[in-house]
Amino acid sequence: MNTPTANGNGYPAALGADGTGETKRSGVSWGAIFAGAVAAAALSLILALLGTGLGFSTLSPYEDHSAVVMGVTTILWISLTSIVASGIGGYMAGRLRVKWSTVHTDEVYFRDTAHGLLAWAVATLLTAALFGSAVTSAISGAASAGGGIAKTAVTAGAAAGTAATKDSNAGANLDPGAYFTDMLMRTDKPVTDANADPRAEVGRIFATSIRNGSLAADDRTYLAQTVAARTGMAPADAEKRVDDVYARMNAAAKKAKAVAKDAADKARKAAATAALWLTVSLLLGAFVASLAATFGGRLRDNVAHVNSPLHR
């Protein structure tokens, strides 16, 4: 029968110097924590690659897939990845830690829970450091795309007005000063030169008018004169054509702006939903890792020693 070795004060060595069971050794087994964290991070990478592969293999560019179905599938896979990886990491952290033979059962349970939580935290930091840029780009990219679409919507009228022009100097068409330059050089004489194409100037007038919200009277008169001189139409018919074309272009610009705003709102909601579900999956992983560590620690403490000379 083996007898415990006494320390200098007469207490068993396992109880420490003062007989209270307190030792100077920390209750944290960092080796076990890092081992579990590395395993969890590696498994997360494997499952992420597997999910990406399965997604590409099942999706086809020739089929109309529902965004809702794709979103739900992605959320379920992320949650499954977090549960499995965190569970394995937490179990390893609890199973590989040192055995606390003189610690109360409640304290052992708390330490195992803490080991699982720390393993999850280290694994999360490792994953964020190695692959966090991709996740950040996915979330911020959606928000930036929405903001960019909304910003583009403000100038949708200008784009609609200038898209039909054939001026080789496209950058000048977007210059606000070009509109006033055209106004300065306007003439009441009909344009008789066949090579003088007024479409670029007309496009700038329409773009500026749509941006301002209305077609100025002098611009309307000038456009009617230009159309009449160019097409040979009667002045009244030219004015009617100007009004019709402006109304159609203004409606198209408003529709494009509404579509852009709707796309921006959907992108904002998608980014918010992705961030919330990522948070939920991380918290779920923290819970599973802590719980799995208690299972691993319990099995660690209940392991029977092999009956050999080395363990007598």
pLDDT, residue 39, reads 93
Specify the higher pLDDT residue, 180 or 158.
180
Cβ atoms < 10 Å from Cβ of 95? 21
pLDDT, residue 52, reads 79
**pLDDT beyond 50 at 4:** no
For CA atoms 285, 291, 294, 299, the dihedral sign is negative
pLDDT (average), residues 19-45 = 80
Element (H, E) at 4: none
Beta-carbon contacts of residue 55 (< 8 Å; ≥ 6 apart): 73, 74
pLDDT, residue 155, reads 47
Burial class (CB in 10 A: 0-12, 13-18, 19+), 129: exposed
Q: Residue holding tokens 């179905």?
A: 69
The overall average pLDDT reported for the chain is: 74
pLDDT, residue 210, reads 85
Beta-carbon contacts of residue 228 (< 8 Å; ≥ 6 apart): 190, 234, 235, 237, 238
* 3-state SS, residue 238: helix
Domain ranges of the chain: 29-152+273-303, 156-260
d(Cα 101, Cα 15) in Å, to the nearest integer?
10
Interval 50-72: pLDDT, tens: 887 777 666 655 555 566 677 77
d(Cα 57, Cα 200) in Å, to the nearest integer?
48
| Sequence letter at residue 178 | A
d(Cα 109, Cα 113) in Å, to the nearest integer?
6
Q: What dihedral angle (degrees, nearest 10) is formed by the CA atoms of 33, 37, 43, 49?
A: 180
pLDDT, residue 200, reads 82
For CA atoms 99, 100, 101, 105, the dihedral sign is negative
Above pLDDT 90, what percent of the chain?
A: 16
Interval 117-153: pLDDT, tens: 999 999 999 888 877 655 555 545 544 544 454 444 4
Interval 214-240: pLDDT, tens: 888 888 888 888 888 888 888 888 889
d(Cα 150, Cα 147) in Å, to the nearest integer?
5
Distance of CA 119 to the CA centre of its chain: 25
Above pLDDT 70, what percent of the chain?
A: 63
* 3-state SS, residue 6: strand
